[in-house]
Amino acid sequence: MLCGKTALLHLPESERVIYERNPLIQVACQLRFPPILKISRQEPVEFQDEIRFQYPLFESMQPQVPSEISQAIQQLGIPVLSDLSYSFKSEDQRWQLSITKDFITISTSAYEKYELFQKRFREAVEVFERIYKPSFYTRAGLQYQDLIIRSKLGLEDKDWSDLIGKNIASELYNSELAPSIESMIKNLILKTEHGQVSFKHGLVSVKEAEKNKDEIAYLLDADFYIEKKIDRGENVWNILNQFNQSARKLFRWSITDTLHNAMRPQAVKTTEI
């Protein structure tokens, strides 16, 4: 049973680096706002017109409700929800913008560094605010998903206890328990000085395309967020900047020096920021 007052998670400072062997599989950022019905009633023609050179591929998606649930809802006389989401993708499909009546999201599998990521999202948000004029934001979130695959890092001979910190996975350090673990996923909600983080991590099975076989990998999925009224403008970006710094510190705190060095860290020069 949890008792007492919740304490803030304080993460140690760490040097900012860019990994040559980058383990990131996806980075996403989302801003939520009070519903704007215009978005679900009209196709986003003007919005698309301003972003289509960067995001030329478009599709609209209707939420899928299982048929048995849909039938039950109709029998009860409850209207079926039909909120549309609109998706805009780059030509290589590695960047995606999505909007619905209550959020705008950017995601990418081609993340290089935060400044470039933030620049693309800021440009899209400025267009969005000019067209749809959200009153304010109710939630801001920044999510990093890292997947550690030992074979891609030349670490096949290493145990997970050599790579993942005892801070987050003490089970891997138990000589009796660790060898028998086939799967392990933890889901933590942690309170930080700038909001909260949903931190999912653990051992997962992935298909290695090159070798055409399954391999055990370690997933680190950190979703930093805050839920409160957030005025438009620089306050939004200051919050996201803080999340980015916290994400860097959480990742470094979660891994060992062995894994850190195997990913070939390169220090970020001041002129690159």
Whether pLDDT at 20 is above 50? yes
The 10s digit of each residue's pLDDT in 41-75 is: 889 999 999 999 999 999 998 655 455 545 554 55
Whether pLDDT at 80 is above 50? no
Which tops the pLDDT comparison, 230 or 11? 230
List Cα–Cα distances, 3 to 6, 7, 175, 212, in angstroms: 8, 11, 31, 48
Q: Give which of 205, 210, 200 is closest to 182, Cα–Cα.
A: 205
Across the chain, mean pLDDT equals: 89
CB contact set of 5 (below 8 Å; sequence gap of 6+): none
Is-contact 207 217, C-beta < 8 A?
no
pLDDT of residue 79: 46
Q: Distance from CA of residue 196 to its chain's centroid?
A: 14
pTM value is 0.88
Whether pLDDT at 82 is above 60? no
Average pLDDT for residues 35-41, to the nearest whole number? 92
pLDDT of residue 214: 87
In 124-252, where do the E strands start and end? 137-148, 184-192, 195-208, 213-230
When mean pLDDT is compared across 2-16, 111-125, 140-154, 174-188, the lowest value belongs to: 2-16
Is-contact 138 227, C-beta < 8 A?
yes
What are the structure tokens assigned to 188, written together?
């933590």
